[in-house]
Amino acid sequence: MKIIDGKALAVQMQADLKVKVEKLSEKGVVPGLVVILLGEDPASQVYVRNKERTAQRLGINSKVVRLPDQTSESELLALIDQYNQDEQWNGILVQLPLPAHISEEKVLLAIDPKKDVDGFHPMNMGRLWAGNPVMVPSTPAGIMAMFKHYDVDLSGKRAVVIGRSNIVGKPIAQLMMMANATVTIAHSRSKNLSELTKAADILVVAIGVAKFVTADMVKKGAVVIDVGMDRDENGKLCGDVDFDSVKEVASLITPVPGGVGPMTITMLMEQTIRSAEMSENNNSYSSNK
């Protein structure tokens, strides 16, 4: 068993990104990321602070707009429109989840697809599924970067994703399919889940249930990617995978923390830089593949 060190890979990739930002800044193009956060959810506060700190370290202009939980949908939409128009900000991210009175769909549709560094706009989701991705959600992008760095060849392999969210499950399935894996998406209604997961050469888990995947569900030698950010019975941060037991079965496994999370932030920075590059090239908005 080998542990995938997402933190170390993130640090390494961020060093390259910092150089990129310096070069762009010399040309007068300073990437700018605005993060909009509604409410006081403590986990969201941590993630947003991490994003802000990383952006600043790389020389990316960054701004966090903190708004009360009760902010109306129309106020939020007006704010997004304001940043759509403002050339100083080439990346706009609205932290999810949103309060229940706000339509996530309306908000994601309102963000200019060119500035949609999360890749959650239907235009960017559609382009991903069409096989011509432009903006790719950062968690799946980070997982693909891990596969590349650790020489995980997906071609012809059986990949199983547990979780069908728009932000992780669906896009990682498509990215692995584009890398020629045979992909199965399992979810809370799947029957005989263990039967599916035991056949997986690659297992990606993104469900938000602490230590859900146990060693008996995993094939010997599988690569296991844990997207969970959960709390265990003692309130300690853990993932969707029971790391201590599954690590004895897997050939490669990501820890929580220090696995997928730092890569997510890194890929968000990369997308922000790419979106700044596109804005420099006459607003070209085209596939990166």
Ligand X SMILES: Nc1nc(=O)c2c([nH]1)NC[C@@H]1CN(c3ccc(C(=O)N[C@@H](CCC(=O)O)C(=O)O)cc3)C=[N+]21
Specify binding-site residues: 163-165
* Closest CB to ligand X among residues 118, 201: 118
46 near ligand X, judged by CB under 6 A: yes
* Closest CB to ligand X among residues 25, 50: 50
Q: How far is the CB of 61 from ligand X (least distance, A)?
A: 18
- Judged by CB under 6 A, the stretch of 63-71, 123-131, 202-210, 253-261 that binds ligand X is 253-261
Q: Which of 14, 25, 45, 50 binds ligand X (CB under 6 A)?
A: 50
- Answer yes or no: 118 catalytic: yes
- Answer yes or no: 51 catalytic: yes
Would you give the distance in Å from CA 270 to the centre of its chain? 11
- Answer yes or no: 95 catalytic: yes
Which residue carries 């999810």 as its tokens?
96
87 is written with which tokens? 């050339």
229 near ligand X, judged by CB under 6 A: yes
Vertex 233: Cα angle to 228 and 239 (nearest 5) = 15
Question: CB within 8 A of 125, min separation 6: which ones?
Answer: 119, 166, 170, 171
Q: Which of 39, 99, 208, 257 binds ligand X (CB under 6 A)?
A: 257
165 near ligand X, judged by CB under 6 A: no
* Closest CB to ligand X among residues 91, 196: 91
Please, are residues 11 and 68 in contact by the beta-carbon 8 Å criterion? no
Q: Which of 29, 65, 96, 109 binds ligand X (CB under 6 A)?
A: 96
The residue with its CB nearest to ligand X is: 261
Q: Which of 61, 95, 266, 272 binds ligand X (CB under 6 A)?
A: 95
Q: Which of 133, 142, 171, 262 binds ligand X (CB under 6 A)?
A: 262
Q: Which residues are annotated as a binding site for NADP(+)?
A: 163-165
Q: Pick the catalytic residue from 5, 114, 116, 118.
A: 118
Q: How far is the CB of 147 from ligand X (least distance, A)?
A: 18
Q: Which of 83, 157, 261, 271 binds ligand X (CB under 6 A)?
A: 261
Amino acid at 242: D
Give the residue from 5, 59, 66 showing the smallest Cα distance to 34.
Answer: 66
39 near ligand X, judged by CB under 6 A: no
* Closest CB to ligand X among residues 181, 273: 273
Q: Which of 61, 124, 174, 264 binds ligand X (CB under 6 A)?
A: 264
Q: Which residue ranges make up the site for ligand X (CB under 6 A)?
A: 46-47, 50, 93-96, 118, 138, 229, 237, 256-258, 261-262, 264-265
Active-site residues: which are they?
51, 95, 118
